[in-house]
Structure 1
């Protein structure tokens, strides 16, 4: 929903991105969050199936729960759909309690897949007509056409007469759980509040080039062991080019940000896609996430191709400066590979953004310091190179449905305590542009106290901003 559009009255489905905080109580500190591409795809597919659909990105608009509820109730949709995430779950529950009881409720998102029974049995939620697990583009239109279709659809649960209904439906149609990414319609960006968006004077748009992940990082909700129903699917280069041309012609987009994890993971597909970028001669730059083990060992001509095709910046999940911890979280990389990948990219004039996590489970004081030392070492190693290195550091947060979650429960941590997120980092030490990441459970998972983790996190990010 763009600023100049009103919510569609009487829609079949109104999808809502719950805000990170209840902005009835405190104003939003930053003015941008990543676009809700998942909700946008569901809305696009449902509209093409003949239904009236809208999306309300309450986080992008900085809306409080009472304002959101008022907008929904005034619009009077048949269905309202919410994406449930661990840090925003409490706000989603609060919002659902404010809605007109005659509106049917559809829930999805990572939390829905990770803890379906707990959600269905959460008595604070007045009604749940469909809890949709996983990718929902092919199932939502079926539910909008007939709610009783939920009895025949895989991965759809609901509550009836106060009881959780969780049928084990088997299907011969794999597209119900893993849609064909090449057959999907192009995302209708009317449904995205902040896309395209201006980033440092450049008009940028977010895209997805793949779905699913073959890796098993223990802290990640996309880990393959937690998603056995999800197959890895890469979009064909011609489909990507069609979308990029559309973004250029309709909106004048100058840069693409690939927000999925696999764009720079498969060397064969990388070559095909990047050559297509060069052949198209679009005069556009792009950012993406890369795999360290792939980029550390890639042939020089592939790195040259990445640069020639317009790559501006590659984001790398480095996480820690400890080889032991890298093995513990199953990253399948080494600290030596990290340095090698960063230097090789920066020498090509490609910027690198490294993601780090402080306070990982079992992290020792020495390993905590090794992570901070690695960040400063990478700054030094890339000093004077055509590409620059920057860091983005986070406090560890456990998520249900991840490999870590079960390990932590076995170690004695309470699921209730691990779900008790607090937006307690709203002080001058934490930049407003990181507001969507400033959440904490307040729990200590390694040797380093949470207060020390936060002090070091704030200090290293302040040092980064000053560079």
Structure 2
């Protein structure tokens, strides 16, 4: 029995070049709305025609109670704008509600747009239900709802910050709200893989991470029993063999981690998780090695002790090497990720990272180097404020934020911006050749040639005259312009 006959539509816009994973946030919000008695529908624009969903409402003569739109900084913003404008043209009187990480950090700026009526900041599992009930009752005074930004005739109003939501008190995600088989894939492994979040937040304070301002160094996890129940629910909807845990930090609570691993072992499931090197010890690695861990991810970020301190990662280079040695001894596959572009990172520190990677590959050839990303300062992070003082100008509108995305080439704050861009490009093809594949022969040939060239550049530390990089960026820029023109999406 639903509270209202008017449906609530939740849209997840396209994201650009990314693997297809579930719209976790919308599933959580949809679950809360459904349990409160609302008729909720999730439209994933990456695999569905969002216009068709709107047209279906028109054909039925049904006016949505409101339409929610998710937002991440970068290309998804463009698609979120298009969806919102389309909704407003179809239903001028229907409120459009934006949520997600981007508007959580830029709420008072984003609400200026004429196609946004409300913004929900933070984890809105409770507040989205409160807003739905207020809209249903026709209420306009909403300051009693925490974490909301909205327009009034007197101007923009913003309520108190939303307190952290205890995830252990939330209902199990209702995966029946989406077609789960669409998100179970074999992209990373040869076996069907499902993706999960079992916690929110992180107890560390990395200076480039959104979690510092959003979660305020708070970590909250769901219980072992809750995780086991969700695994059973997922299995019924779409059988899988591997669980990919997307938690920001899975290793905070050792007792919980041990319990989850035991559950997975009993269910005969393999798994992937990420951990901070400071939390790694022999006992944990023994547990993982004997329980089906098929990959362990470490975000090392840099080989420079100075920059590691500036990032406030919470471990030392020596701890990273010790963790790698111990994982290799137990034959646990490891992925490493790195970043260049810190404001204090000179040529010396950049080459320390390159030397560290070479050391790792000499000692443990099977360790996978994902690539070296460019530092992208996101709003609300400590590093963003530092970069602003060095010339970074925050975008002034949503459309400008759509062009602001990870691995941007505009490192205005960096003393070695060009070198950082070149190193990042070289690392992509020098280390990830086996991950770059195509059904087109000409692209396979291009990848093979770039792998040879960038491997030589890496070995010789010769990053000057990167003509292939300039050609690649020109080709991608042209391709993106064509995609924009035909409204197909973004690469």
TM-score bracket, shorter-length normalisation: 0.7 to 0.9
Q: How far apart, in 1, do the equivalents of 2:134 and 2:93 lie?
A: 16
2:385 is aligned with 1:406: yes
The TM-score, its normalising length taken from structure 2, stands at 0.77
Q: Is the 8 A contact 2:78 2:402 kept in 1?
A: no
Q: Is the 8 A contact 2:373 2:407 kept in 1?
A: no
2:372 is aligned with 1:393: yes
C-alpha deviation, 1:159, in angstroms: 1.0
Q: Name the structure 2 match of 1:328.
A: 310
Q: Name the structure 2 match of 1:72.
A: 54
Equivalent in 95, 99, 124 of residue 87 of structure 2 = 99
Q: Name the structure 2 match of 1:142.
A: 130
Runs of 4+ in 1 over 6 A off after TM superposition: none
C-alpha deviation, 1:206, in angstroms: 0.9
- Aligned partner of residue 326 in structure 2, secondary structure: helix
Change in 2 beyond 3 A, CA 1:16/1:307: same
2:256 is aligned with 1:265: no
Q: Is the 8 A contact 2:276 2:299 kept in 1?
A: yes
Q: Name the structure 2 match of 1:5.
A: none
Q: Name the structure 2 match of 1:110.
A: 101
Q: Is the 8 A contact 2:69 2:84 kept in 1?
A: no
Q: Deviations over 1:372-397 (max 9, x none)?
A: 222232222212xxx64332331211
Q: How does 1:356-435 map to 2 (within 5 A)?
A: 356-383=338-365, 388-416=367-395, 420=400
Q: How far apart, in 1, do the equivalents of 2:151 and 2:206 lie?
A: 33
Q: Name the structure 2 match of 1:12.
A: 7
C-alpha deviation, 1:11, in angstroms: 5.4
Q: How far apart, in 2, do the equivalents of 1:232 and 1:203 lie?
A: 29
Q: Is the 8 A contact 1:13 1:80 kept in 2?
A: yes
Q: Is the 8 A contact 2:20 2:183 kept in 1?
A: no
C-alpha deviation, 1:74, in angstroms: 4.6
Change in 2 beyond 3 A, CA 1:344/1:192: farther
RMSD across aligned positions (CA): 2.7
Q: How does 1:47-86 map to 2 (within 5 A)?
A: 47-58=34-45, 60-61=46-47, 68-69=50-51, 71-72=53-54, 74-75=56-57, 76-86=63-73
Q: Name the structure 2 match of 1:246.
A: 233
Q: How far apart, in 1, do the equivalents of 2:397 and 2:330 lie?
A: 42
Change in 2 beyond 3 A, CA 1:282/1:325: same
Q: How does 1:27-66 map to 2 (within 5 A)?
A: 32-58=19-45, 60-61=46-47
Q: How far apart, in 2, do the equivalents of 1:232 and 1:318 lie?
A: 21
Change in 2 beyond 3 A, CA 1:119/1:250: closer
2:419 is aligned with 1:440: no
Relative to its length, the structure with more helix (as a share) is 2
Q: Is the 8 A contact 1:73 1:99 kept in 2?
A: no
C-alpha deviation, 1:285, in angstroms: 0.3
Q: Name the structure 2 match of 1:353.
A: 335
133-142 or 182-191, larger mean C-alpha shift: 182-191
Q: How far apart, in 1, do the equivalents of 2:99 and 2:31 lie?
A: 16
Q: Is the 8 A contact 2:341 2:411 kept in 1?
A: no
C-alpha deviation, 1:196, in angstroms: 2.2
Equivalent in 101, 106, 125 of residue 114 of structure 2 = 125
Q: How far apart, in 2, do the equivalents of 1:249 and 1:126 lie?
A: 39
Larger Rg: 2
Q: How far apart, in 1, do the equivalents of 2:20 and 2:156 lie?
A: 34
Unaligned runs of 5+ in 2: 58-62, 435-491
**Alignment size in residue pairs:** 413
Change in 2 beyond 3 A, CA 1:85/1:250: closer
Change in 2 beyond 3 A, CA 1:443/1:11: farther
Unaligned runs of 5+ in 1: 1-9, 22-28, 170-175, 425-436
Q: How far apart, in 1, do the equivalents of 2:54 and 2:84 lie?
A: 10
C-alpha deviation, 1:415, in angstroms: 1.5
